[in-house]
Amino acid sequence: MAQGLFGDQAVERRNSVGLKGKTALITGSAKGLGKSTALLLASQGCNIVLNYVHSEQEALQLKAYIQSLGVGAEAVQADISDPEQVKFLADEAERTFGSIDILINNAGPFIRERRVFLDYSTNEIYQMLNGNLLGVMLLDHHVLPGMRERRWGRIIHFGFGHAGEARAWPHRAVYAAAKTGLVSFTKTLAVEEAAHGITVNMICPGDIRGINKEKSIDDVEGEIDEESPRGRPGTGEDVGRAIYFLCDSRSDFITGNILDVTGGLDPIKRTLKG
């Protein structure tokens, strides 16, 4: 008779499952949410390929710290909005560790200044689209053959809270268009790659601000955020824990999903009301 979820064999198998020895490439990971994700995955035994454009000092410091945890780490400078640099990043990651098992597409240019679409320059439009959509697609394209060969892979795209609803977001037209396009690509790629043991999902962080992107949940205990329905600020750990869950070997039945990590906040609705 089957013993179910808590049978001895099931427990032994669950305890043996983890990410130890896997390699994760995380774009835009010298600081912020990418850094928090890198630290969490490294703590679970992942080798980490960090990526940065300008934050070399932060990337090298983080690399050294991750290596002190007993796992491999490398830092590679590359701009995701440049197709040639995307290829260089993938090649360097594979050269260093032999494979990319987990790809976290965190990097993406964002213009904080609020302005209507007509006020964007042509170069800004190209940079936003290339960095948030085309560069992501090209990086996926580089790593998928290896994942298919090993019949295992995890790809995570980054969106924004409620990106899956594709509503109007005034003053964020280019960024929103790129990310909502990525929603469709995420779902399509998930279907195409499921039979190869590869999952593809999107994480949509809420309004996690400044240094909170690198804080743990314990760090904000007792803090009040009156704009958040949850009542506290969001943290990098909130996002990292969601990513870790999706990357786990036993999460292979979860793919094509758009996961909001917002504490219940709807940033677009708030913007429209404001």
Digit-coded pLDDT (tens) for 36-64 = 999 999 999 999 999 999 999 999 999 99
Provide the pLDDT confidence category of residue 224 given band limits of 50, 70 and 90. confident
What pLDDT does 268 receive?
Answer: 61
- State the Cα–Cα distance between residues 160 and 85, nearest whole angstrom: 25
What pLDDT does 9 receive?
Answer: 45
Mean pLDDT of 81-91: 97
Structural domains of the chain, ranges and CATH numbers in brackets? 19-273 (3.40.50.720)
Cα-Cα-Cα-Cα dihedral sign, residues 104, 110, 116, 119:
negative
Q: Please answer whether residues 236 and 243 qualify as being in contact, where contact means their C-beta atoms are separated by less than 8 angstroms.
A: no
Two structure tokens written together for 55:
């934050």
Digit-coded pLDDT (tens) for 5-27 = 444 444 444 443 478 999 999 99
Two structure tokens written together for 265:
């906040």
Digit-coded pLDDT (tens) for 95-138 = 999 999 999 999 998 888 999 999 999 999 999 999 999 999 99
What pLDDT does 273 receive?
Answer: 53
Two structure tokens written together for 196:
């190869």
What pLDDT does 16 receive?
Answer: 39
Provide the pLDDT confidence category of residue 205 given band limits of 50, 70 and 90. very high
Digit-coded pLDDT (tens) for 157-202 = 999 888 888 888 889 999 999 999 999 999 999 999 999 999 999 9
In degrees, rounded to 5, the angle at the alpha carbon of residue 106 between the alpha carbons of residues 39 and 162 is 115
| Mean pLDDT score across all residues of the chain | 90
Is pLDDT above 90 for 207? no
- State the Cα–Cα distance between residues 229 and 209, nearest whole angstrom: 16
Mean pLDDT of 205-212: 89
- Residue of 142, 173, 176 lying closest to 27 (CA atoms): 142
Q: What is the dihedral of CA 99, 32, 79, 129, to 10 degrees?
A: 110
What pLDDT does 267 receive?
Answer: 63
Question: Model-level pTM greater than 0.85?
Answer: yes
Digit-coded pLDDT (tens) for 229-248 = 788 888 999 999 999 999 99
Provide the pLDDT confidence category of residue 223 given band limits of 50, 70 and 90. confident
What pLDDT does 2 receive?
Answer: 45
What pLDDT does 106 receive?
Answer: 96
- State the Cα–Cα distance between residues 92 and 247, nearest whole angstrom: 22
What pLDDT does 90 receive?
Answer: 97
